[in-house]
């Protein structure tokens, strides 16, 4: 679905400090036409425009999904999502 809306993304993050290092923990879900995917990520904060999340579960066509979801934040404000299934 290059360049088109594929579904709805909901995400929640918490940020905290371990010493002088800022760390975040994020979870979320994507609702797609054929089901839902859930994902999680955690670790030190970086200035990167790319974040990689582990797929933690799914429903419908994604019930047995495993792999990663990569979010790429564009300068235009658009979010590109890439799903790599294993």
42-84 pLDDT per residue, tens? 887 777 788 889 999 999 999 999 999 988 888 887 778 888 7
What is the Cα–Cα distance from 1 to 67, expressed in whole angstroms? 19
Which three-class secondary structure state does DSSP give residue 61? helix
Please report the pLDDT score of residue 80 as a whole number: 81
pTM > 0.85: no
Task: List alpha helices for the chain, DSSP H.
Answer: none
The answer to whether 78 and 3 have CB atoms below 8 angstroms apart is no
Residue 76 CB contacts under 8 Å (≥ 6 apart), including other chains: none
Categorize the per-residue pLDDT at 2 as very low, low, confident or very high, splitting at 50, 70 and 90. low
Residue range 13-41, pLDDT digits in tens: 998 888 888 888 999 999 999 999 999 99
């Amino acid at each position: 679905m290059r360049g088109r809306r594929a579904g709805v993304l909901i995400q929640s993050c918490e940020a905290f400090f371990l010493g002088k290092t800022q760390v975040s923990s994020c979870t979320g879900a994507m609702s797609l036409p054929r089901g839902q995917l859930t994902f999680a990520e955690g670790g030190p904060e970086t200035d990167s425009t790319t974040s990689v999340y582990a797929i933690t579960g799914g429903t419908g066509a994604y019930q047995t999904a495993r792999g990663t979801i990569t979010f790429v934040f564009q300068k235009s404000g658009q979010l590109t999502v890439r799903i790599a299934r294993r």
